[in-house]
Amino acid sequence: MDDIDQKIIATLRRNARASVSDLALELKISRSTVRSRMERLKSVGDILGYTVVLRGDVFEQPVRGIMMIKIEGKGTQRIVDHLNKMTEVTALHTTNGKWDLIMELGTDTLVHFDDVLRRIRLIDGISASETNLLLSTKRTNEARRNVMLD
């Protein structure tokens, strides 16, 4: 994948509905170049499909954050099972390094968010945590989860 392919993909990430003509104009290359490169990117599997992000995807949970969790002992599966039952947990990742789990959270208010953090910190076996609020989203991985294949 060269610089032109990366520019096409970056432009499509900002606007997946951009026409071949619009892409060519913005990138200052021919439409046939854009078309052939997009077809090649699809055929080799770099582009799997296109998606749309709905207002509800962003505004149903206006308070969102990332929580890193350290687990003591061997209770990881029990803790994962407990966290997976919480509706506020939108994604849960195991990882290496300082933290054992990285979790994405979403709630409707800061008070609700604070309550979720409190409940998580009370789970037996969680020895430490760090939480960061997400202020804005420039690109969502929902696009990868909800890909509409051609």
pLDDT single digits (tens) 90-143 = 899 999 999 999 999 999 899 999 999 999 999 999 999 999 999 887 766 554
Helix (H, G, I), strand (E, B) or coil at 11: helix
Residue 5 backbone dihedrals phi, psi, to 5 degrees: -60, -45
Q: Residue 43: count other Cβ atoms within 10 Å of its Cβ.
A: 9
Which pLDDT belongs to residue 35? 96
Strand-pair partners of 66: 104, 132
Cα–Cα distance, 56 to 16 (Å, whole number): 18
pLDDT one-digit tens code per residue, 29-51 = 999 999 999 999 999 999 988 87
Own/partner pairs, 26-32, CB within 8 angstroms, 24+ separation: 29/4
Predicted TM-score of the model (pTM) = 0.59
